[in-house]
């Protein structure tokens, strides 16, 4: 499967067997995408508020610093008979630099939804795609002839980390001509800590239908509290 660097591009994927490789890509519904855009706007509002607070704090601190400096300069002038006209000012960080340093102060779901929306906008502009015309729909991808390479390239546009349609994909069903898949279905998920809630719900629904679940855990802290919580309260008995 194509690797994804972040949960924002790691959509749930269902794998099954087929003599002729094919795939079905499911896009977010209009309602789900509106929810993602709403969280993205909340991110922007939260960032604006944090940056405004930073500006006010910095400006106030600078005023106090200048007041103290002016007092010291006047005192020095009284001793030396000079004239103090030296002025300095602090330079505010740009909003972009501030965001890089403080984005972790904003809830994860807001951050992730903002990244998804920004990614979708860039992909749409770059490739001339109207993402709203695709919401709530699905895309069928089939292998043409024996060109497995072309099939994988086509699929990469929907599930790859740089795919033109990846940001708006909710989950994908992929059929491969791999004998190891005969008689079974494998579901690869981004996990339940996916900040995009609609995908987490899709993962939970899939877990309820599975016969076996393989849980990957960090080797440095095997089966930590979060893993135990997952096994105890999420997996079906």
pLDDT digits (tens, 9 = 90+) for 200-230: 777 777 778 888 888 777 778 788 787 787 7
Q: Is the pLDDT of residue 36 over 80?
A: yes
Interval 28-52 mean pLDDT = 93
Q: Give me the pLDDT at residue 2, please.
A: 54
Q: Could you tell me which of 55, 141, 145, 51 has the C-alpha nearest to residue 98?
A: 51
CB-based contacts of 51: which residues, under 8 Å, 6+ apart?
95, 98, 99
pLDDT band at 41 (very low <50, low <70, confident <90, very high): very high
Q: Give me the pLDDT at residue 5, please.
A: 46
Q: Is the pLDDT of residue 232 over 60?
A: yes
Q: Which of 159-163, 172-176, 191-195, 229-233 has the lowest mean pLDDT?
A: 191-195
User: Do the strands 12-17 and 138-142 form a parallel or antiparallel pair, or are they unpaired?
Assistant: unpaired
Give residue-wise pLDDT tens across range 47-67: 999 999 998 988 888 777 777
Give residue-wise pLDDT tens across range 166-183: 889 988 898 888 899 999
Mean of the per-residue pLDDT values of the chain: 81
Give residue-wise pLDDT tens across range 117-156: 998 999 889 889 899 999 999 999 987 766 677 887 888 8
Sheet holding 22-27, edge to edge: 138-142, 22-27, 169-176, 12-17, 186-188
Tokens (6 digits) for 124: 């749409």
Q: Could you tell me which of 187, 155, 156 has the C-alpha nearest to residue 22?
A: 155
Q: Give me the pLDDT at residue 90, please.
A: 64
Check: CB of residue 201 under 8 Å from CB of residue 173. Answer: no
Q: Give me the pLDDT at residue 235, please.
A: 74
Q: Is the pLDDT of residue 198 over 70?
A: no
Interval 88-94 mean pLDDT = 74
Check: CB of residue 168 under 8 Å from CB of residue 159. Answer: no
CB-based contacts of 109: which residues, under 8 Å, 6+ apart?
39, 195, 196, 197
């Amino acid at each position: 499967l194509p690797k994804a660097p972040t949960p924002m591009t790691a959509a749930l994927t269902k794998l099954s067997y087929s003599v002729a490789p094919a795939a079905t890509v499911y896009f977010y519904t209009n309602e789900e995408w509106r929810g993602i855009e709403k969280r993205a706007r909340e991110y922007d509002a939260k960032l604006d508020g944090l940056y405004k607070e930073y500006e006010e704090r910095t400006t106030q601190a600078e005023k106090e610093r200048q007041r103290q400096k002016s007092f010291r300069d006047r005192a020095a002038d009284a001793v030396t008979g000079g004239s103090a006209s030296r002025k300095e000012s602090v330079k505010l960080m740009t909003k972009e630099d501030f965001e890089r340093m403080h984005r972790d102060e904003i809830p994860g779901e807001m951050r992730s939804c903002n990244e998804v929306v920004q990614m979708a906008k860039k992909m749409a502009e770059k490739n001339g795609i109207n993402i709203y015309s695709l919401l709530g729909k699905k895309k069928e991808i089939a292998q043409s002839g024996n060109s497995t390479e072309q099939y994988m390239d086509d699929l990469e546009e929907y599930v790859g980390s740089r795919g033109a349609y990846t940001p708006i994909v909710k989950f994908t069903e992929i059929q491969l001509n791999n004998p190891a898949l005969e008689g079974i279905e494998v579901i690869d998920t981004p996990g339940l800590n996916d900040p995009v809630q609609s995908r987490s719900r899709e993962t939970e629904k899939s877990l309820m239908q599975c016969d076996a679940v393989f849980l990957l855990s960090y080797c440095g802290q095997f089966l930590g509290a979060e893993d135990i919580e997952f096994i105890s309260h999420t997996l079906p008995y």
